[in-house]
Amino acid sequence: MSTYEFKLPDIGEGVVEGEVVKWLVKEGDVLKQDQPMIEVMTDKATVEISAPRAGRVAKRMFAEGERCPVGKVLIVLETEDGQGTAPAKAADVPASRPNMPAAALATPSGPAGAVLATPATRKLARDIGVDIHAVTATGPNGRVTSDDVRGHKPGAPAPAAARPATSAADKRVPFRGVRKKIAETLARSKFTAPHATYVEEVDCTELVALRTAVNGRATGAKVSYLPFIIKATVAALKKFPQMNATLDDAAGEIVQWGHIHLGLATATDAGLIVPVVRDAERKTIAQLSTEIAHLAEVTRTGKAARDELTGSTFTITSLGAWGGVMATAIINPPEVAILGVHRIARRPAVVGDQIAIRDLMNLSITFDHRLVDGLDAAQFVGEIKRQLESPAALDDKSV
């Protein structure tokens, strides 16, 4: 019997430490090689690390929520292979995938019979009381998805003794991992940049008609409103480059970007993630529609590449049909503004001297008042409004 010290490997891209999100094994457990043993989150990724060799867990060196520096011992195993205390290498971590987004949890490559599912899906199953081993998998390579978990129909009701009491007990949820990263980012934004918000109403009646016409000639998937909103936003950003910018504090300069990389705030099981449409100014309605669908899919399933989740210069946030009347978004740092897109609804409006039923939508712009004045914000949203209310120029006939 010998001791094997598994050290957190260097997974590259400037990562210097990882936060222990969840231990999947206890001290005293006997592990098989490649058995998932821990979820670790870095600034770049959340990964599930498997046991590099078989052995018994002698000691877990860091508690959940603590940060382990790269190169420090993460877990000690007692093994029978006589390999002693050789440090772990990146190659010893077969199930970790460092190129995954902050909310994308890697699929384990565990032993035969193991359930293939992301940690986020496993957590969902635990939270709603579903035995993940009993769920029918529909994902790639037999992976259990969050939709599989939600759609699972248990074979029989739980016995009466296992059912929750009428008065539910308080529940404490650990504050770590993706949720904590989101909190840190948004708190930094809110307490660094003085936020201000401007709201404008947009008559989308002609936009609704244009989208209907475009989808009438489309041969593939239907086009949403978002590609048209992106095109209008790109036109406004070209006209008001101070909105497509960042503050370089060290240099004492405001950097106005020469490219437009649009972030699209996307809800996932793990939290709000922002995939990026790169060089949006160069793309057609058809290209934008295809890319939006791709980014939404890979972000929600945890398959987005790092360059699909970084480098945005301006962000749009929309809840679609849930968009409500108005909301004050928090700026995605280090950007200077974020556009909130709200629900299109049929409401009465004054057209000339008449009351008519129109398709109306509110847009909100939340901006960093250090760099953007209220007039700048109003004129910027005014340009988007002009583009959307007379949208013929947005139709590039690519669909």
* Span 167-212, pLDDT tens digits: 778 988 888 777 888 888 899 999 999 999 999 999 999 999 999 9
pLDDT at 161: 44
C-alpha Rg value of the chain to the nearest Å: 25
Q: Report d(CA 36, CA 50) in Å as an integer.
A: 4
SS3 28: coil
pLDDT over 90 percentage in the chain: 53
Sorting pLDDT into bands at 50, 70 and 90, what band is 115?
low
Q: Report d(CA 283, CA 346) in Å as an integer.
A: 30
pLDDT at 86: 45
Q: By mean pLDDT, which of 20-24, 144-148, 207-211 is the weakest? A: 144-148
Assess whether 34 carries a catalytic annotation: no
Whether pTM exceeds 0.95: no
Q: By mean pLDDT, which of 17-26, 94-103, 168-177, 366-375 is the weakest? A: 94-103
Sorting pLDDT into bands at 50, 70 and 90, what band is 369?
very high
Q: By mean pLDDT, which of 24-38, 93-107, 354-368, 373-387 is the weakest? A: 93-107
Query: Which pLDDT tens digit goes with each residue over 25-66?
Result: 999 999 998 888 998 887 655 677 888 889 999 999 999 988
pLDDT at 392: 95
Higher pLDDT, 327 or 387: 387
pLDDT at 395: 94
pLDDT at 235: 97
Mean pLDDT confidence for 9-22 = 75
Helix (H) or strand (E) holding 42: none
Whether residue 155 is predicted with pLDDT greater than 60 in this model: the reply is no
Whether residue 217 is predicted with pLDDT greater than 50 in this model: the reply is yes
Sorting pLDDT into bands at 50, 70 and 90, what band is 103?
very low
- Catalogue the E-assigned strands of the chain: 2-7, 17-23, 30-31, 36-41, 46-50, 55-60, 67-69, 73-79, 116-117, 143-144, 195-203, 245-248, 253-256, 262-268, 271-273, 276-277, 314-318, 337-341, 345-351, 354-368
Q: Report d(CA 248, CA 170) in Å as an integer.
A: 45
Assess whether 261 carries a catalytic annotation: no
> In whole numbers, what is the pLDDT of the chain averaged over residues?
84
Q: How does 251-288 read in b/e, with b if 16+ C-beta sit within 10 Å?
A: eeeeeeeeebbbbbbbebbbbbbbbbbbebbebebbbb
Sorting pLDDT into bands at 50, 70 and 90, what band is 162?
very low
Sorting pLDDT into bands at 50, 70 and 90, what band is 227?
very high
Higher pLDDT, 141 or 218: 218
The two three-digit tokens of residue 43, written as one number: 């600034």
Catalytic, out of 152, 359, 369, 395: 369
pLDDT at 14: 60
Q: Report d(CA 42, CA 17) in Å as an integer.
A: 6
Cβ contacts of 284 within 8 Å, gap of 6 or more: 396, 398
SS3 328: coil
Mean pLDDT confidence for 367-371 = 97
SS3 396: coil
Query: Which pLDDT tens digit goes with each residue over 257-291?
Result: 999 999 999 888 878 899 999 999 999 999 999 99
Sorting pLDDT into bands at 50, 70 and 90, what band is 13?
low
Catalytic, out of 43, 81, 307, 373: 373
Q: Report d(CA 286, CA 399) in Å as an integer.
A: 5
Sorting pLDDT into bands at 50, 70 and 90, what band is 157?
very low
